[in-house]
């Protein structure tokens, strides 16, 4: 079949809208009509050329929601008409990683996914006979996609696609980092570096668990108002203070219990660790930094009890946790609507990237 899709031809170039050929689902795969997709900073990161796994031409996008159209042989858990969110972190419930109960990083299809291919090491997308690569196993900038059954979370059918698509990455990443990775407790002091599509969801999670001080740090002063609505109690613009780390240590009587880096800047990652409380403060890296980037600190920072951790997809197990987060949204327990600042047509997807770069949007959502 044919599908309309935004194709990334090479790093740093705008996407173009094409009628792409899409092969139907093979065994264990599912054809999904994507109804809406968010644009995450990670899409921009890969498009910029900084991603060592960034391959072109490819169809980017990993924050979608849609409807099952057809299932391939052997698919048991889904049928045509089911509403789903594609998962760039699948959940096979069989691999060593899933069975460990220590991580959400299912590895069942990770190696082919990282090469832009389906599990049989081929692509379902092509144009004029030449393959176009998948991205993060999802490629939600295409109106129709084929994904493995283990990479789909089945969600309730009354949830609006143009809102819950954001649960496919940003919402789950931010809330999950607080709830699943850090397990922040009530009363804890939390610092969030970067108040964009991820950081504001970290704030939302911190508020949910009853954190004490919730300190937001961003170089964009326009972020302050919305962050306060989501529960931020203090704002620091690094350009307005002499030393961000000292400022936080003073505000928190010795340092943060938990900090979250939601930018992808290795200098800020160091600040996020070093603003943590001696003896127990934990810093969670969420931001994705460019190929070749490295983090550093004095080992003494760790010797004296600070902990560095990372979080992918908020530590969430997609097929188990994503339907619950959709329920939270439908029950009014979390706010997604205020974070979706722009809704665009597929033709205007490059405008979505411009808005993100200019700091004018939190989340842009493309509706098919």
**Residue 53's binding partner out of ligand NAD, Zn ion, ligand AHE, none, with CB under 5 to 8 Å set by partner kind:** ligand AHE
172 contacts ligand AHE (rule: CB under 6 A): no
1, 9, 19, 53: which one binds ligand AHE (CB under 6 A): 53
313 contacts ligand AHE (rule: CB under 6 A): yes
Query: Among residues 1, 151, 135, which one has the least CA distance to residue 84?
Result: 151
CB count in 10 Å sphere of residue 361: 22
CA–CA distance, 62 with 137 (Å, rounded to integer): 8
Contacts to ligand NAD from residues 229-268, by CB under 6 A? 238, 262-265, 268
141, 180, 308, 313: which one binds ligand NAD (CB under 6 A): 313
**DSSP letter, residue 184:** P
Contacts to ligand AHE from residues 178-237, by CB under 6 A? none
CA–CA distance, 263 with 272 (Å, rounded to integer): 11
Q: Which residues are catalytic?
A: 40-42, 62-63, 92, 95, 98, 106, 110, 169, 363
Contacts to ligand NAD from residues 212-231, by CB under 6 A? 217-220, 223
- Specify the long-range contacts of residues 54-58, CB closer than 8 Å, at least 24 apart: 54/11, 55/115, 55/116, 55/133, 56/8, 56/9, 56/10, 56/11, 56/133, 57/7, 57/8, 57/9, 57/10, 57/127, 57/132, 57/133, 58/7, 58/8, 58/116, 58/132, 58/133, 58/134, 58/135, 58/139
Cβ distance to ligand AHE smaller for residue 125 or 313: 313
Q: With CB under 6 A as the contact rule, which of the stretches 78-86, 181-189, 286-294, 315-323 interacts with ligand NAD?
A: 286-294
169 contacts Zn ion (rule: CB under 5 A): yes
CB of 252 to ligand AHE, least distance (A): 28
Query: Among residues 103, 78, 83, which one has the least CA distance to residue 34?
Result: 83
Taking residues 75 to 114 in sequence order and writing x for each that binds ligand NAD by CB under 6 A, - otherwise, the string is ----------------------------------------
141 contacts ligand AHE (rule: CB under 6 A): no
Cβ distance to ligand AHE smaller for residue 123 or 189: 123
The position carrying tokens 């795969």 is 29
User: Do residues 190 and 251 make contact, with C-beta atoms less than 8 angstroms apart?
Assistant: no
Contacts to ligand NAD from residues 172-201, by CB under 6 A? 173, 193-199
CB of 238 to ligand NAD, least distance (A): 5
288 contacts ligand NAD (rule: CB under 6 A): yes
Distances (CA, A) of 296 to 266, 268, 272, 287, 323: 8, 11, 12, 15, 38
5, 40, 87, 147: which one binds Zn ion (CB under 5 A): 40
CA–CA distance, 288 with 47 (Å, rounded to integer): 13
CA–CA distance, 95 with 287 (Å, rounded to integer): 26
Give the residues lining the site for Zn ion (CB under 5 A): 40, 42, 169
């Amino acid at each position: 079949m044919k599908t309309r899709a935004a194709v990334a031809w090479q790093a740093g170039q705008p996407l173009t809208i094409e009628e792409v050929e899409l092969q139907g689902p093979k065994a264990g795969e599912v054809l999904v009509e994507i109804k809406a997709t968010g644009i995450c900073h990670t899409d921009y990161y890969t498009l910029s050329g900084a991603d060592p796994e960034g391959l072109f031409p490819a169809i980017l996008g990993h924050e979608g929601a849609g409807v099952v159209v057809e299932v391939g042989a052997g698919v048991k858990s889904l049928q045509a008409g089911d509403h789903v969110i594609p998962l760039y972190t699948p959940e096979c419930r069989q691999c060593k990683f899933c069975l460990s109960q220590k991580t959400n990083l299912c590895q069942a299809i990770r190696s082919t996914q990282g090469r832009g291919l389906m599990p049989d090491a081929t692509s379902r997308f092509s144009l004029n006979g030449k393959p176009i690569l998948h991205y993060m196993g999802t490629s939600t900038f295409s109106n129709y996609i084929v994904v493995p059954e283990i990479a789909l979370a089945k969600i309730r059918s009354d949830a609006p696609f143009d809102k819950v698509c954001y649960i496919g990455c940003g919402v789950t990443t931010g809330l999950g980092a607080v709830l699943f990775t850090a397990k922040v407790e009530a009363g804890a002091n939390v610092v969030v570096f970067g108040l964009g599509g991820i950081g504001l969801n970290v704030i939302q999670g911190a508020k949910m668990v009853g954190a004490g001080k919730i300190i937001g740090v961003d170089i964009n002063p326009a972020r302050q108002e919305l962050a306060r609505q989501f529960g931020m109690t203090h704002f620091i613009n690094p350009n307005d203070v002499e030393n961000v780390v000292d400022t936080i240590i003073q505000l928190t009587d010795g340092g943060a219990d938990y900090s979250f880096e939601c930018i992808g800047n290795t200098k800020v990652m160091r600040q996020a660790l070093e603003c943590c409380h001696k003896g127990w403060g934990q810093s969670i890296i969420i931001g994705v930094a460019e190929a070749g980037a490295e983090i550093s600190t004095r080992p003494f920072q760790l010797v004296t009890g600070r902990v560095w951790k990372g979080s992918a997809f908020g530590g969430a197990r997609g097929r188990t946790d994503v339907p619950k987060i959709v329920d939270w949204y439908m029950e009014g327990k979390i706010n997604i609507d205020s974070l979706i600042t722009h809704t665009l047509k597929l033709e205007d997807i490059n405008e979505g990237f411009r808005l993100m770069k200019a700091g004018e949007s939190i989340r842009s959502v493309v509706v098919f």
